[in-house]
Amino acid sequence: MMGAARGPARRTDDGRAAGVGLWIAAVGVGGCALALAPYAWTRLASVGRRKGVGTVPHRPVAVVLGAAAWEDGPSPLLARRLDLAARLYESGRVDRILVSGDNREVSRHETDTMTAYLREQGVPAERIDADPHGYRTWDTCVRVRDLFGVREATMVTQSFHLPRTVALARAAGIDAVGVGDPSMGARRRATVIGYAREVGAAVKALRDAVLRPAPARAER
């Protein structure tokens, strides 16, 4: 009799445990979905606008996002971005190239380095403009719009960074398409890290698109 009395109690405990487990699972799934929502936004906002060099429509300017500069020139990833921009110019897909990055000494003068590299690739100096205070992707988008009058552009960066770049450019009011360097075969480790960072970076990007902060001050 005593054993029979414990049966329903055990079933009740099992039911409660199962309910708690389902609740935890639901919270986990919801949390993951919430965390990935900003990344999904960057993908959706750039869908149909990520192109190749041979298929991207003409735009007046290519905007090249900055990356690390080394003492002897652009880092490999930055050089690959600049090579793409040079190809776009040579093929008539863009009329000008605008480089944007951190031109402070601490960053080894990114935009000076980018400009010099493009000139070495045969791009005329008069076809290159530079924004020396593009500290963040959002800053670049707002500054090229306000200071250089960019309303249509081809954004040039690595493929892992391209959805966020195009999404932010569009949020800033630029009719943007983009060309991305796949980079995986050439710089696998840096590319994998880049993709991993995009999930967190997308959260900040969505915040920028909603709150629309002013670019960082030049004397930063």
Q: Is residue 193 part of a domain?
A: yes
Write out the residue range of the structural domain in which residue 156 sits. 50-211
Provide the number of structural domains found in the chain: 1
- What's the CA gap between 125 and 74, in Å, rounded? 17
Q: Is residue 42 part of a domain?
A: no
Any idea what the CATH number is for the domain that residue 136 is in? 3.40.50.620
Q: Is residue 14 part of a domain?
A: no
pTM of the model: 0.84
Q: Is residue 217 part of a domain?
A: no
The one-digit pLDDT tens for each residue of the chain (220 residues) are 444 555 565 656 555 555 555 555 544 444 455 567 999 999 999 999 999 999 999 999 999 999 999 999 999 999 999 999 999 999 999 999 999 999 999 999 999 999 999 999 999 999 999 999 999 999 999 999 999 999 999 999 999 999 999 999 999 999 999 999 999 988 999 999 999 999 999 999 999 999 999 998 765 4
Q: Is residue 12 part of a domain?
A: no
Q: Is residue 168 part of a domain?
A: yes
Q: Is residue 123 part of a domain?
A: yes
Q: Is residue 35 part of a domain?
A: no
